[in-house]
Amino acid sequence: MHYNSMLFTYLAFVLEYGCNIKVMLTCTPVTYELLKWYVSGDYTGRGSIVLMSNHRTRQDWMMSWLALVRLHLCSYLVIVMKMGIRQVPILGWMVQWMSIFMNRKWTQDSRSFNDLIRFYCNVISDRTSRTVFLFYPEGTDLYDKALLKSWLFADANNLPRYHYGILLHPRTLGATNLVHTIGDDLYCIVDLTIAFLFCFFFIIKKKKGYVDYEENERGNEALFVQGRWPRRVLFHLECFTLESIVKQYKENVLPSLQQSESDIGNVFYSPLTELPPELFYQNNDPTSSSSSSSDSKQQSKDDSQMKLEMEALTDFVQRSFLLKEIRLGLWYENHQWMEDCTTKN
């Protein structure tokens, strides 16, 4: 899949320099080291990364190239997208060979989705290559009708409504099944937050200056073609392993999501603060890893362990999006962006 690299590098160059889009990438030091080691020649094993991102506009999947090119991950990229994207002229046609398309109805998608995950992990990826899955748990971009459905979903599932109204509640079934299907070939889970600094309206008679998308307007590919793209794109990444998520979930150190705003800072999973030794030994020998061994390890897990992992992942996704909402609220309200991070690009 390394033929992706040149194409994405060219597309990212056009976005950043042709469209004059400024990029800011922040991550924790451990995240930087893990991703750097993943693409280095020192790591010879296999393994898949799951990138879970918020979905502000229909331009997000294009803007993500700007971050992934910097991290040298585009060679392994597979994007999970809505079925309608494949009908978009040129852009939709281009990404069909490196995307998984879904109808967003699990009864229709479950079998083909899991089969394609296994296909990318075990057929296309050889023993020394990897796959990076970019997944949007919200299921769709942000607009008024989707926001109303999100509130109804939160009320029905006893979840707190997001205060700023700039995120949708994630649907965790697809995310948990993605991680479960990858199984022991999972390298890590990366929590990705993306934000924008407004858009410049080139083709519009009425002078507006730098403004965000208008009320009831959805940022999409058509607006991008009209010259309405972000002035600046900001990314923040944090790495987690499945083991660290399950451990924090089992310890019951996280209170209920139904918290007052004064206590909200204590209800989130902590990202990795040191390099996990299991990643440096597990699957690092290319001759010892195969799809059959992965399947046997997956079957060896008992039902209780599988159930625990699914519950922990569901809880993790819900809490990570609540944290995203707070971070994005600080950005859009006060222009504060991850001032505590030490690694920037």
Contact between 175 and 137 under an 8 Å Cβ cutoff? The reply is: yes
If one counts every other C-beta atom within 10 angstroms of the C-beta of residue 83, the result is 12
The predicted pLDDT at position 287 comes to: 43
Burial class (CB in 10 A: 0-12, 13-18, 19+), 250: exposed
Total length of the chain: 345
* List of residues 6+ apart from 106 with CB closer than 8 A: 173, 174
Q: Tokens at residue 115, please? A: 């089969």
Stretch 80-104: mean pLDDT: 75
Over residues 229-278, the pLDDT tens digits come to 778 889 999 999 999 999 988 886 565 665 544 445 557 888 888 877 76
For residue 242, give the amino acid letter: L
* List of residues 6+ apart from 28 with CB closer than 8 A: 237, 238, 239, 271, 272, 273, 341, 342, 343
pTM to 2 decimal places = 0.82
The span from the CA of 41 to the CA of 129, in Å, is: 11
Stretch 180-194: mean pLDDT: 90
Q: Is the pLDDT of residue 122 over 60?
A: yes
Percent of the chain with pLDDT over 90: 13
Burial class (CB in 10 A: 0-12, 13-18, 19+), 92: middle
Pick the more confident residue, 280 or 174: 174
23, 133, 214 from 329: Cα distances, Å: 19, 26, 18
Contact between 237 and 196 under an 8 Å Cβ cutoff? The reply is: no
| SS3 call for 55 | coil
> 238 forms bridges with which residues in the sheet?
191
Q: Tokens at residue 184, please? A: 């022991």
The predicted pLDDT at position 200 comes to: 45
* List of residues 6+ apart from 176 with CB closer than 8 A: 310, 313, 314, 317
The predicted pLDDT at position 312 comes to: 92
Stretch 49-75: mean pLDDT: 87
Q: Tokens at residue 178, please? A: 């993605």
Stretch 102-124: mean pLDDT: 80
The predicted pLDDT at position 183 comes to: 85
The predicted pLDDT at position 293 comes to: 45
The predicted pLDDT at position 205 comes to: 38
Element (H, E) at 308: helix 303-334
Contact between 202 and 226 under an 8 Å Cβ cutoff? The reply is: yes
The predicted pLDDT at position 294 comes to: 46
| SS3 call for 232 | strand
The predicted pLDDT at position 59 comes to: 81
Q: Is the pLDDT of residue 211 over 50?
A: no
